[in-house]
Amino acid sequence: METLYHQTNKKIQEVQSLMGNLEKTDRQSVHLLENDLQDRIDQIFSQLERLEIVASKEPPNRRPNAKLRVDQLKYDVQHLRTALQNFQHRRYTREAQEREREELMSRTFTTNDADTSIPIDETLQFNSSLHNAHRGMDDLLSSSSNILNGLRDQRSTLKGTHKKMLDVANMLGLSNTVMRLIERRATQDKFIMIGGMLLTCVFMFLVIRYLG
């Protein structure tokens, strides 16, 4: 369990480090880095599936903590996957805008009114598309922010649950100790009572025998 956990956590840290290179990579090579990151993320998810199976086989007293640690890794790698998808979406949108701009700039404008009406309409359409793209990016960034806030809230909830589980485990351990002490004392009291009854019977028998 520990070996597989640390291997998976190390892979997540490597992906986090590589994610910082996305903005620095040139356009010709960025898709290669994206593919590499996607492959690494897929491998991490495969390891997490194995880790979940291993965690389910842990002893009952360690199983909740093991499952909690696996869930935290799942949230981390899901955050990385979402960040990669957002970057790819931004890149696709930016490249589409650049292609449209290049096509517009490459057109030949004439002084003929009938001919210039089409480029003007295309310019308006391009501006409208550009506005819609910016609005879509704003919506995407807002959605991504909500997702990150949700992940942070879930992590905080998991940490609180973990603490409560440890407190309950400690309480249960104390309760078990107290119960064992009570059972031991009850057994001792039972033997004392039986011994006292036997001594009383012997004493009564001797009194009756000698007095009779």
Q: Does residue 201 fall inside a structural domain?
A: no
Residue 141, pLDDT score: 66
Q: Is a pLDDT exceeding 80 seen at residue 161?
A: no
Beta-carbon contacts of residue 175 (< 8 Å; ≥ 6 apart): none
Range of the domain at 26: 1-106
* pLDDT tens, position by position, 99-123: 888 888 877 655 554 444 445 556 6
Q: Does residue 211 fall inside a structural domain?
A: no
Nearest to 29 by CA among 137, 37, 100: 37
Mean pLDDT of 112-141: 60
* pLDDT tens, position by position, 54-98: 888 888 888 888 888 888 888 888 998 998 899 889 888 888 888
The mean predicted confidence, pLDDT, of the chain is 76
**How many independent structural domains does the chain possess?**
1
Residue 208, pLDDT score: 72
Q: Does residue 141 fall inside a structural domain?
A: no
pLDDT classification of 191: cutoffs 50, 70, 90:
confident
* pLDDT tens, position by position, 173-190: 555 665 566 667 767 777
Q: Does residue 77 fall inside a structural domain?
A: yes
- Asked if 84 and 37 touch (Cβ cutoff 8 Å), the reply is yes
Q: Does residue 59 fall inside a structural domain?
A: yes
Q: Does residue 51 fall inside a structural domain?
A: yes
Q: Does residue 182 fall inside a structural domain?
A: no
- Pairwise CA distance, residues 28 & 63, whole Å: 47
pLDDT > 70 fraction of the chain, expressed in percent and rounded: 61
* pLDDT tens, position by position, 31-40: 888 899 999 9
Q: Is a pLDDT exceeding 80 seen at residue 20?
A: yes
Of 90 and 132, the structure prediction assigns the larger pLDDT to 90
Output the domain CATH number for residue 43.
1.20.58.400
Q: Does residue 8 fall inside a structural domain?
A: yes
- Lowest mean pLDDT across 108-112, 138-142, 157-161, 192-196: 108-112
